[in-house]
Chains A and B, each alone.
Chain A
């Protein structure tokens, strides 16, 4: 009964959100920059507009996926390094905190020179994924219970064997949490990176539509960015379900 009540409140919330959006847009209460929801779908209904957005969302998607891949790899490598050589760990964790606190936009001028304009979106996406994955990997590796650790000591396992057979499997659930956070960070990083003189991508559309007052295009680009993030979330959740049959 309580569930039904909560659920109906939730649905009411969704309906009110959409209605409020539509009415505000139609009446123009927030100025011409807040279009009614229906006009965005009208805009997307024409073929060239849709093609433009799909093409650029594809570019951003590829950038984000590459960033997610590299960020995950670097994060995992550094976490393993920090585990195998404990002396390096404090420096690595300071570095990770530092990277996390860096405003990504400030890295733009530096990255354009060092990796080039084309690779800047991937680089920024990589950096923003790196932190969440590194933290998830470190906390996952330390997830083992005292009994598990005692067993490895009794059997005289080396650090590497301990990592391979006990700690990595134990870290898997945490790693997926890190990936989930990373998915939205990667899309955000790719879009921010595209603001720095990239040729195509959702970031380019967002900025040019903002400057040229193409309101419908602006909102559609935002919609596609959201769709990209949600797709990433869903994909990772599916992989997680497939994986958990083995590790749970």
Chain B
């Protein structure tokens, strides 16, 4: 039983194991000073020597990323529903969202930092702004992509996506067809919202793992900086896995 489990784990994670071993060997063979490149063991001890410090910053990053994601998704779904209901609004918003889709938006965080100002609210605001557009686009495309047979059936019952039956149509047809897209957008945005939070903290340097990475580097505590980097990787991967699991679980409920 144990062996089966072990073989399964190796088949799945061999690449990551090789990376870890390669890292340790590289550091040992070249005999790097910990200021140049700490080994995995040194990074581990740096974390264990003060886990509370890392955890409080990790919690800050995670909570602001989550808060921003929730805010962004709420705004995205509301605005998408509004623009589904009013074609004029949709036409007005489309060029803007196309524009936002074609720019490398994470690289524009310096601008948004200047716009929203430095402070504890900035990380949440920026995460919300950056997660809004992908969610808006995906949710809207789900709302508009209603199964045509069902649409015909509904219109035979005199229920069409306009007039005062619009709400019924929205509730029973458009919304269920957009739900899988909402789940997809949560999965796609889970690592992105952590990335955005880290980048913002990195640039502003107030609090959070992004801040730990830069501040430790400037005092040559490379082990601390790498520990923060690895915790943020784990955070991001973990959040992504949770979001994927949620998507897998609820997907079948909404799709055909």
Cβ of B250 within 8 Å of any chain A Cβ, yes or no, is no
Partner of B11 from A90, A100, A187, A209 at Cβ < 8 Å: A90
Is residue A210 contacting chain B, with contact meaning CB distance below 8 A?
yes
Tell me the dominant secondary structure on chain B's binding face. helix
- The CA-CA distance from A105 to B192 in the complex, in Å, is 11
Of the residues A6, A106, A230, contact of B232 by C-beta under 8 Å: A106
Q: Is B199 an interface residue (CB 8 A)?
A: yes
Cβ A106 vs Cβ B198 within 8 A: yes
Chain B residues, Cβ within 8 Å of A225: 103-104, 107-108
Q: Known contacts being A13-B93, A13-B94, A110-B226, is A103 close to B107, with CB within 8 Å?
A: no
Residues on B with C-beta less than 8 A from A12 are 91-92
Contact of A91 with B13 in the complex, beta carbons under 8 Å: yes
- CB under 8 Å from chain A, chain B span 65-88: 87-88
Binds A, one of B49-57, B134-142, B147-155, B233-241: B233-241
Count residues of chain B with CB under 8 A from any CB of chain A: 54
| CB-contact partner of B99 in A17, A95, A219, under 8 A | A17
Assembled-state Cα–Cα distance A92/B15 (Å):
7
Chain B residues with CB under 8 Å of A188's CB are 104, 106-107
Produce 1/0 per residue, B194-222, CB < 8 A to A.
11001100110000011001000100001
B210 / chain A contacts, CB cutoff of 8 Å: 105
B191 adjacent to chain A (CB < 8 Å): yes
Q: Cβ of B233 and Cβ of A106 under 8 Å apart? A: yes
**Among B37, B94, B113, B115, contact of A30 (Cβ-Cβ < 8 Å):** B115
Residue B159, interface by CB 8 Å: no
CB contacts (< 8 Å) of B104 on chain A: these are: 184, 187-188, 191, 225-226, 229
Are A110 and B103 in contact (CB-based, < 8 A)? Answer: no
Measuring CB to CB, which residues of chain B are less than 8 angstroms from any residue of chain A? 11-16, 36-37, 87-88, 90-96, 99, 102-104, 106-108, 110-111, 113-115, 190-191, 194-195, 198-199, 202-203, 209-210, 213, 217, 222, 225-226, 228-230, 232-233, 236-237, 239-241
**19 A-B residue pairs with CB within 8 Å:** A6-B87, A13-B92, A13-B94, A13-B95, A16-B92, A17-B99, A30-B115, A87-B11, A88-B14, A91-B11, A94-B16, A101-B236, A106-B229, A113-B37, A202-B107, A222-B103, A225-B107, A226-B102, A230-B102
**Shortest beta-carbon contacts, A-B, top 7:** A9-B91, A188-B104, A210-B110, A95-B15, A191-B107, A101-B240, A106-B229
